Amino acid sequence: MQVTEWQKNLPTRITYSRIVMAPIIIAVMWPNTLHWNLLAAVLFILSSITDYYDGFFARKYGVVSNFGKFMDPIADKILVTSILAMLLSQGKIDAWMVIIILGRDNFIGGIRSVAAVDQIVIDAKPAGKWKTAMQMVAIPLVIIGNWDPYLPYLDKIGYGVLWVSVILSITSGIEYYRGFLKNRKG
């Protein structure tokens, strides 16, 4: 199958779209009203879905690259941490959540850097995938907030699910570190 230039660039453009959407979602969250928060949540969900499709099209068109493998988690972190910072400034989440998530992400980034130098590949662990899934569910719920009288506890459900993702962040960080140590010794 002949891959066109457009198809070659599609996965990277999809990845970049998450980076571009982060400040747009934050701007939409700024008024902090139900209607704007609903729009921000929808934009966040659509942006989160692109995390699947960049990899899907890279594999489909046979254009998987080291650049794409590197940029994909960076785009995810820019999107998620930007939104978490905004939620923190709005008083919707706890500072500890953000500190743990950012700390884990920086720790894993450091391990990835060392692993890359040592030419070690560490597979993604289930806890890390679950952590991401929980964040993608929790964040829109927290963005929307209390939708009284229709869904009065939506924000509290999102807050609880976000704490689950924080616990999974710690778990996946430990798993990732153990995987690094195992591959480094082997």
Residue 84: per-residue pLDDT = 98
Superfamily of domain 5-185: CDP-alcohol phosphotransferase transmembrane (TM) domain (1.20.120.1760)
pLDDT tens sequence for the chain (186 residues): 788 999 999 999 999 999 999 999 999 999 999 999 999 999 999 999 999 999 899 999 999 887 888 888 889 999 999 999 999 999 999 999 999 999 999 999 899 888 888 888 776 778 888 998 999 999 999 999 988 887 889 999 999 999 999 999 999 999 999 989 988 865
Residue 65: per-residue pLDDT = 85
Q: How far apart are CA 75 and CA 15, in angstroms?
A: 6
Q: Which helix (H) or strand (E) holds 167?
A: helix 154-185
Give the residue extent of every domain in the chain: 5-185
Q: How far apart are CA 130 and CA 165, in angstroms?
A: 8
Q: Could you tell me where the beta strands, DSSP code E, fall in the chain?
A: none
The Cβ of residue 45 has, within 10 Å, a number of other Cβ atoms equal to: 14
Residue 186: per-residue pLDDT = 57
